[in-house]
Amino acid sequence: MKNLNSTLIGLVILLSAVSGQDYLIPSDGYKATIVFPDYITLGAFDLHVPLLYANDGDTIHCLNLETGLEERKFGRPAGYDGAYASFITVAPDGKTIWAGYTVFGNSDDRIYSIDVESGEWALQATLPGNFDLEFWNDSLLVSGLNSTDWTAPCSIFLLDTSGSDQHRKVVEAGGYAAGITVDGTGNLYYGTSYAVDLNAIYRWDSTDIAYILGTPGTNPLIKEDGEKLTDLPSGANDCEVDAFGNLVFNFNDYTADKVLAQWNRTTGDGRNFDTLSVAPEAGDWLGMVKSQGNINIPSTGNRVFTNSPGRALTDVHLDYLPILTRPLPVFSGLETENDTSIDLSTYFTDPDDPDDFSFEVVVNTEPSVASVSISEKELIVDFLLAGQTNVVIKASNAAKEKSKKVVVGVQPVITGDYLVSDFEELTIDPDSFWNGADGSGGYTSGEAYFYNDYNADWFSWSGWAYSNVSDNTTPGFLNQYSAITGNGFDAGRSDGSQYGVGYVFGPPVVSFKESIAHEVAGLFVTNSTYSALSMKYGDSFSKKFGGEDGNDPDYFKLMIWGHANGTPTDSIEFYLTDYRFEDNTRDYVIKTWQWVDLGSLGRVDSLMFALESTDVGEWGMNTPAFFCIDNLYVIPNEAPVGMSPITDATDFEIIVYPNPNRGRFIIGTSAEDAVEVRIFNLTGSVIFENRNHSPGTVIDISHHPAGSYIIRVTDDRKAVSKMFIQQ
């Protein structure tokens, strides 16, 4: 009802207690919070997050929603006094502000633009009784009267900024002037404001608006051309569609509550809205409505703003949930280490109810690995046995809860007369890596030589790199040299930050000096940041492990073979990620350094590594084929090495003969019946599959290229994987 502003708004201000105190009563599940309490005379306002521009009549203030500070201000246009600020609209690019003004009698109502950088004002048009302005692509739509006659029906005009003020009517809505809004697809919304007639919210389709704008001389749209969304019990003042298509609006009644509401997406007759808050005092009159984020998600930054004369701005929002102010740490330590603890109250907060938090451990998937307890607000972790466990902490406050997962990793203490490949004697700059670009073909650490294949034409590599990159939060290929731990296994040492990075494009190989066989005690492994974040969240190439509902039985597995004189001895499997559990809380991505015992490989002169994933496409494994290792422990012995075929020391044995071969071979097993056979190349692609294979039958993969392959044989008892070589 802006065409009555000179009298009505003045009366409202007189009736209002000039105050920053709460005046809105929120509905159940909502909160109302005063914004910028020191500014109680702000009228027209708009957002360009994080900035809020608001006009107090004399000055447009630029206020920062994040810092609470005033960043700058713009004085009113020179030589134009006694005007009421009808609207502020910030251009989509944030470079200009459009400000409307009206005066008593609508005799000198103007619309200006202000250059944000220079602060210069420019008179763009005069439009009597202007109320609101919205951008529609490159067009400017203004609601108002375009008449000094207060009884003229409110309409929505295409603003003419040529200087001739030939504003073209787009929609004749009727009633007093009220606010407009445009959604992301160009649909136009308006709430009518009649003193006695029935009021409603209408929506005009973007195609109809486009036709009117593009067809000069055609008749304007009317209410009946739009779709009625909801009836209103009294006249609307403003409406707003948030960034996610949710429509909010307000309406005022002289003798009843003033209401801020949301359309419930039912169309037609009836009151199709839900009340968000009310202003019960007679002196309050709800003004403009603006939004930030998705108003239907209870998270900081999702809110609706409104105001009333003589009051500070207020935001209304769903009661915010407790939030994590910073990531909970990953706990990692040795079996012999003392308890460690953190104060959980420094990690959680509630924007609406900051006090009275309580915490509870609701899940500890592997209590044998670590004991986890809470004393008041302190989380206490006691390292027990080697392994990794998932711990879920529930934070409760004001009848609201938030659960977060904590990962605890425990490592064994390795003792004995070992030589250790820990990568620390290798020289690189801090937070950097070596990937073989010097063409050397590999590097030595301890007793082990790590092979590298660098392609100078494509600037690509495979095999082994080494690194001390600490960025364990950035996803994607550009962060391929980072361990998810953010450091090496011996991170507590001043020189303990380096580790090896394996990339499986062909098997990464480690050999020992002078091809002498050694017993290998084991090594520590973890995921790379690239693969870990890809599996946890998914990316443009790889799936999110577990799928959208978390129930997909995905896994990512590291396989390690021992070789002696070119013949495989045995193999070890270690799950870097495992989502195969019925209880999804047990699903894990390895995020700590974990010990892999390699003692069963026997005396070997080399190690070969491969990866297997459930996420496989037409061209092989989709999961990034990276992993990280540190501290390879070997016993420095030189005993002679005997030849041995591929066998398994378990009750289910398989043998590949001959090995190596030229692509035709047979497998023998201890199984009495047919078995399932699958053969993988070392990028994870299945190249052969027979679910009813009779042992002793020739398998022919000679049409595939020479190289190393993995054969996986499954009977009704277990599955065994072995590696063989095709020459």
Mean pLDDT of 320-330: 92
Overall average pLDDT of the 337-357 stretch: 90
Q: State the average pLDDT over residues 17-34.
A: 80
Given this model, what pLDDT does residue 492 score? 66
pLDDT tens for residues 163-178?
999 999 999 999 999 9
Please tell me the predicted confidence (pLDDT) of residue 495.
Answer: 62
Rounded (5°) CA angle 595-597-598? 135
The distance of Cα 556 from the centroid of its chain, to the nearest Å, equals 23
List C-alpha distances in Å: 9 to 2, 194, 633.
9, 17, 81
Least confident span in 98-112, 129-143, 278-292, 505-519 = 505-519
Q: What is the pLDDT of residue 711?
A: 85
Note the CATH number of domain 419-635. Answer: 2.60.120.1350
Question: What rounded mean pLDDT belongs to the chain?
Answer: 90
Contacts of 614 (CB under 8 A, 6+ apart): 552, 553, 554, 555, 556
Question: Is the link from the previous residue into 660 a cis peptide, with omega within 30 of 0?
Answer: yes
Percent of the chain with pLDDT over 70: 93
- Mean pLDDT of the region 106-114: 96
Q: Render pLDDT for 115-165 as a digit per residue (tens, 0 to 9).
A: 999 999 999 999 999 999 999 999 999 999 999 998 899 999 999 999 999
Residues 373-408, buried b or exposed e (16+ Cβ, 10 A)?
Answer: ebeebebebbbbebbbbbbbbbbbbbeeeeebebbb
Residues 6+ apart with CB under 8 A from 446: 419, 420, 421, 422, 632, 634
Q: What is the pLDDT of residues 368-388, one digit of tens each?
A: 999 999 999 999 999 999 999
163, 168, 174, 176: CA torsion to nearest 10: -10
Q: What is the pLDDT averaged over residues 185-206? A: 95
Q: Distance between CA atoms of 289 and 276, rounded to whole angstroms?
A: 13
659: tokens are 């090995």
523 in Cβ contact with 629 (< 8 Å)? yes
Q: What was the pLDDT predicted at 659?
A: 76
Which pLDDT value is given to residue 17?
A: 40
Q: Which of 46-60, 427-441, 530-544, 636-650 has the lowest mean pLDDT?
A: 636-650
**Cα maximum dimension of the chain:** 108
| Band (1; pLDDT cuts 50, 70, 90) | very low
Cβ contacts of 77 within 8 Å, gap of 6 or more: 110, 112, 121, 123
Q: How many other C-beta atoms lie within 10 A of the C-beta of residue 677? A: 22
Strands 331-334 and 400-411: parallel
For residues 233 and 223, is the Cβ–Cβ distance under 8 A?
no
Do domains 323-411 and 654-726 share one topology? The answer is yes
- Cα distances (Å, whole numbers) of residue 462 to 201, 481, 482: 63, 12, 15
Q: Indicate if the pLDDT at residue 643 is higher than 90.
A: no
Tokens found for residue 471: 């960025």
Nearest CA-CA partner of 680 in 632, 622, 611, 598: 611
Judge whether residue 222 has pLDDT over 70: yes
The pLDDT tens digits for 540-595 are 999 999 999 999 999 999 999 898 876 778 889 999 999 999 999 999 999 999 99
pLDDT tens, residue by residue, 245-296: 999 999 999 888 999 999 999 999 999 999 999 999 888 999 999 999 999 9
Pairing of strands 313-318, 303-306: antiparallel
Indicate the range of 242-246, 391-395, 655-659 predicted with least confidence: 655-659
Q: Contact 408/371 with Cβ under 8 angstroms?
A: no
| 273: helix, strand or coil | strand
Q: Would the pLDDT of 310 be above 70?
A: yes
Phi, psi dihedral angles at 8 (to 5 degrees): -65, -50
**Of 669, 680, 557, nearest in space to 620 by CA:** 680
- Within 163-221, residue ranges assigned H as helices are 206-214
- pLDDT tens-digit map of 598-608: 999 999 989 99
The token pair at 516 is 């002498």
Q: Which of 607, 576, 641 is nearest to 450 (CA)?
A: 607
> Would you list the domain boundaries of the chain?
2-318, 323-411, 419-635, 654-726
Residues 6+ apart with CB under 8 A from 246: 262, 263, 291, 294, 295, 296
How far is the CA of 46 from the CAs of 23, 54, 138, 258, 419, in angstroms? 21, 7, 19, 21, 67
Q: How far is it, in rounded angstroms, from Cα 354 to Cα 32?
A: 15
Of residues 618 and 104, more confidently modeled:
104
Q: 436 is written with which tokens?
A: 């073989």
Quickly state the pLDDT bin for 697 (edges 50, 70, 90): confident
CATH class label, 323-411: mainly beta
- Rounded Cα–Cα distance for residues 626 and 576 (Å): 11
Which burial class, exposed, middle or buried, applies to 249 when counting CB atoms under 10 A from its CB (0-12, 13-18, 19+)? buried
Identify the CATH number of the domain defined by range 2-318. Answer: 2.120.10.30
Q: Which of 82-96, 408-422, 480-494, 585-599 has the lowest mean pLDDT?
A: 480-494
pLDDT above 90 coverage of the chain, percent: 71
End-to-end CA distance of the chain: 87
Contacts of 415 (CB under 8 A, 6+ apart): none
CA–CA gap between residue 34 and residue 23 (Å, rounded): 9
What per-residue string of b and e applies to 145-165 under the rule 16 or more CB within 10 Å gives b?
Answer: bbbeeeebbbbbbbbbeeeee
Rounded (10°) CA dihedral 638, 643, 646, 650:
-70
State the pLDDT at residue 630.
Answer: 97
- Right CATH number for 654-726 from 2.60.120.10, 3.30.300.30, 2.60.40.3080, 1.10.630.10? 2.60.40.3080
Say whether pLDDT at 722 is over 50.
Answer: yes
Query: Across residues 180-195, what is the average pLDDT?
Result: 96
pLDDT average, residue stretch 390-417: 93
pLDDT for 12 equals: 39
Place of tokens 């190596």: 660
